[in-house]
Amino acid sequence: MTDAPAPQDRDSTTAVHRVGNAARGVSYEEPLLFERSRPGRVGFELRELDVPAVDPAEVLGEAAIRSEVAGLPELSEVEVVRHFTRISTWNYAVDLGPYPLGSCTMKYNPKLNEVASRLPGFANAHPLQPEALSQGLLALIHELEQHLAEVSGMDRVSLQPAAGAQGELAGIMMIRAYHEQRGDRRSKVLIPDSAHGTNPASAALNGYDTVSVPSGPDGLLHPSAVAAAMSEDVAALMLTNPNTLGLFEEHIVEICEIVHAKGGLVYGDGANLNAILGIARPGDLGIDVMHFNLHKTFSTPHGGGGPGAGPVGVKHLLAPHLPVPVVRRQDESEGGGFTLDYEFPRSIGRLHGNFGNVGMLVRALAYIRSLGPAGLRRCAEMAVVNANYLLARLAEEYPPATRGHVMHECVLTDRRLEAHGVTTLDVAKRLIDHGYHPPTIYFPLIVPGALMIEPTESESLEGLDRLADALLDIAREAREEPERVRGAPHHTRLARLDETRAARRPILRWQPAGSE
């Protein structure tokens, strides 16, 4: 957001052009592709075939082939381009303005990274082509592994996991392999009650029972709570640091010692690494294995839901269990260059059909090369300043869930709005009228009415001021005309959507009228 006028709308549902950050005058209607379809239209012409044509029924047998392809529309290129261009304008995006979705680190996605990932030598290379023809890519993978190891203080890194949750899966698998190889069968994983849902889900996929550890009233994990839950049946503690309340886990060293003393390992969810880049390293704090979210910390775009990349970093004790293949630099005696190593008998195996989301790795390397050590640290500092600035401006109207300063995000509450019958969801939807993507809401689960705000380092002072003004305006509105907040959003193409109806009577694909 740049020079949009300040919010002034009070009563009109039509003054779209005057509202806050949402200075949009034209809104398009656009049907589904299938409803636009007209028999005979084509959107692509094939090359001319220079070998004899074949009759598929003859080659494959009548029984093996289908008579028609169902479910696809017929459209010209013009219509396809207009369709997707039009519906794209129904999306909010980082390139339109602040996207303070807590825990997701919606920072700016540099354009350089996009250009780099599309270089033909990266985008048009095949993962199974001979190693000798892939030395640039293997070098890139190797270099990024080294950089992530340095940033995190871990000893080894695998870039294979396709997203954070797959990194968690890999990490817990390595922990399980480590225990099993020592003949130690353990059945539980400890997870703080403030954790992201992927943590317990990843532990359960490994056959572990999860045990929830309560956070203290200060939002921190306390050694006493961990000690009470810890036993020789616990394989690991999964923790997120900074945690999902935006707080640095101050007792982490002691907590890791408690877990280690009973033979357990500590998994670090690195989703919030952005806050400590160049300031502290998980590996120096006692973490044994962690994942990175390159789509958060290292600026690769979120793509409307993905792809991401979720590399895992480990300490030496888990390195024998890393996923295969591993990229290895060869000695001069072996001919130099890089090779793919499959010789890890204690590896957890393969997680991905190839080497992971390589296109995202290219972007992350471009980012690290652009920022360097000073730039990365600057990101952490600015992310923290921005979060604390918003906290300072909003704390009175939206009482924070925690006391004191925070790291990269702050968790506020709707406590003061309750009396007016206004919910967190209402605030979120009203913020849309002001031209913003709402924060994460109702997470972490331990905070009733949570608004989790992560501005990231990408936002400017005046941008944050406007966002804070909008939220304060909504708080005032909640007192003075709460029905206005409850009915939001008013200025979007669609009003609030009925999610209950969608779940009660699921319609999960388009069908021609009258077909069912």
Partner 1 sequence: MRYVPNTEDEVRTMLERIGVPSLESLFSRIPARLRLDRPLALPRGAGEQEVLGALEALARRNACLDTHRYFLGAGVYPHFIPTAIDALASRSEFYTSYTPYQPEISQGTLQTIFEWQTMIAGLTGLDVANASMYDGASATAEAALMAMRVTRRPKVVVSAGLHPHTREVLETYLDGPGGKIVAAARGPDGRSEGVGALVDDETACVIVQNPSFFGVIEDVGDAAKSAHACGALAIVTVPEALSLALLRAPGALGADIVCGEAQSFGVPMSFGGPHLGFLAARERHVRQMPGRLVGETVDARGKRGFVLTLSTREQHIRRDRATSNICTNQGLMLLRATIYLALLGARGLRELAVQNLALAEYARSRIRATPGLELPFSAPVFNEFVVRVADSAPAALARALEAGIVGGLDLAPFAEDLGPAILVCTTELVSRADIDALVAALAGDPR
Ligand X SMILES: Cc1ncc(COP(=O)(O)O)c(C=O)c1O
CA pseudo-torsion sign 439, 168, 207, 264 = negative
> Which one, 240 or 386, has the nearer CB to ligand X?
240
Instruction: Extract long-range pairs of 476-485: CB within 8 Å, 24+ residues apart.
Output: 477/430, 478/417, 478/420, 478/422, 478/426, 478/427, 479/420, 482/420, 482/421, 482/422, 484/430, 485/422, 485/426, 485/427, 485/430
244 forms part of the interface with ligand X (CB under 6 A): yes
Tell me which of partner 1, ligand X, none is bound by residue 83, counting a contact when its beta carbon lies within the kind-specific cut-off of 5 to 8 angstroms. Answer: partner 1
Of 251, 248, 253, 252, the closest CA to residue 272 belongs to: 248
Of 272, 494, 476, the closest CA to residue 394 belongs to: 476
Judged by CB under 8 A, the chain residues 269 through 308 that form the site for partner 1 are: 276-281, 284-285, 293, 295, 299, 301-308
Q: Tell me if 288 sits within 8 A of 266, measured CB to CB.
A: yes
Size of the site for partner 1 (CB under 8 A): 205
Omega prior to 325 cis, within 30 of 0: yes
**Residue 477 structure tokens:** 């509105």
| String of contacts with partner 1 for each residue 325-354, x by CB under 8 A | -----------------------xxxxxxx
Judged by CB under 8 A, the chain residues 198 through 257 that form the site for partner 1 are: 198, 200-210, 247-248, 250, 252-253
Could you tell me which stretch among 4-12, 169-177, 227-235, 410-418 binds partner 1 (CB under 8 A)?
169-177
Q: Minimal distance in Å, beta carbon 420 to ligand X?
A: 30
Q: Tell me if 369 sits within 8 A of 305, measured CB to CB.
A: no
Whole-angstrom distance between the N-terminal and C-terminal Cα of the chain? Answer: 46
**Residue 353 structure tokens:** 């059909």
| Burial class of residue 454, CB neighbours in 10 A (0-12, 13-18, 19+) | buried
> Which one, 101 or 422, has the nearer CB to ligand X?
101
Eight-state DSSP code of residue 158 = E
What's at 470, amino acid-wise? A
**Helix (H/G/I), strand (E/B), else coil: 238:** strand
Judged by CB under 6 A, the chain residues 163 through 192 that form the site for ligand X are: 163-165
Q: How far apart are CA 359 and CA 363, in angstroms?
A: 7
Could you tell me which stretch among 327-335, 411-419, 474-482, 485-493 binds partner 1 (CB under 8 A)?
485-493
- Candidate list 9, 145, 249, 269; residue touching ligand X; CB under 6 A: 269
| Burial class of residue 287, CB neighbours in 10 A (0-12, 13-18, 19+) | buried
Judged by CB under 6 A, the chain residues 437 through 456 that form the site for ligand X are: none
Q: Minimal distance in Å, beta carbon 381 to partner 1?
A: 6
240 forms part of the interface with ligand X (CB under 6 A): yes
Tell me which of ligand X, partner 1, none is bound by residue 255, counting a contact when its beta carbon lies within the kind-specific cut-off of 5 to 8 angstroms. Answer: none
Q: Minimal distance in Å, beta carbon 271 to partner 1?
A: 10
> Which one, 91 or 333, has the nearer CB to partner 1?
91
Q: How far apart are CA 210 and CA 199, in angstroms?
A: 9
Q: Minimal distance in Å, beta carbon 305 to ligand X?
A: 9
Tell me which of partner 1, ligand X, none is bound by residue 269, counting a contact when its beta carbon lies within the kind-specific cut-off of 5 to 8 angstroms. Answer: ligand X
Judged by CB under 6 A, the chain residues 301 through 330 that form the site for ligand X are: 308, 310
What's at 454, amino acid-wise? E
Q: Minimal distance in Å, beta carbon 113 to partner 1?
A: 9
- Candidate list 176, 222, 315, 420; residue touching partner 1; CB under 8 A: 176
Greatest Cα-to-Cα distance within the chain, rounded to the nearest angstrom? 78
Q: Tell me if 16 sits within 8 A of 22, measured CB to CB.
A: yes
85 forms part of the interface with partner 1 (CB under 8 A): yes
282 forms part of the interface with ligand X (CB under 6 A): no
Q: Minimal distance in Å, beta carbon 18 to partner 1?
A: 18
261 forms part of the interface with partner 1 (CB under 8 A): no
> Which one, 206 or 413, has the nearer CB to partner 1?
206
For residue 328, list its beta bridge partners. Answer: 339
Q: Minimal distance in Å, beta carbon 442 to ligand X?
A: 14
Tell me which of ligand X, partner 1, none is bound by residue 74, counting a contact when its beta carbon lies within the kind-specific cut-off of 5 to 8 angstroms. Answer: partner 1
Q: How far apart are CA 433 and CA 17, in angstroms?
A: 11
> Which one, 8 or 89, has the nearer CB to partner 1?
89
E strand segments, 193-246:
209-213, 234-240
- Candidate list 21, 103, 274, 388; residue touching ligand X; CB under 6 A: 103
Judged by CB under 8 A, the chain residues 442 through 471 that form the site for partner 1 are: 443, 457-461, 463
Could you tell me which stretch among 112-120, 157-165, 217-225, 317-325 binds ligand X (CB under 6 A)?
157-165
Helix (H) or strand (E) holding 326: strand 326-329
Q: How far apart are CA 371 and CA 275, in angstroms?
A: 15
Judged by CB under 8 A, the chain residues 22 through 61 that form the site for partner 1 are: 30, 32-34, 37, 41-44, 46-47, 49-54, 56, 59-61
Binding site for ligand X (CB under 6 A): 103, 163-165, 196, 198, 240, 244, 269, 271, 293, 308, 310
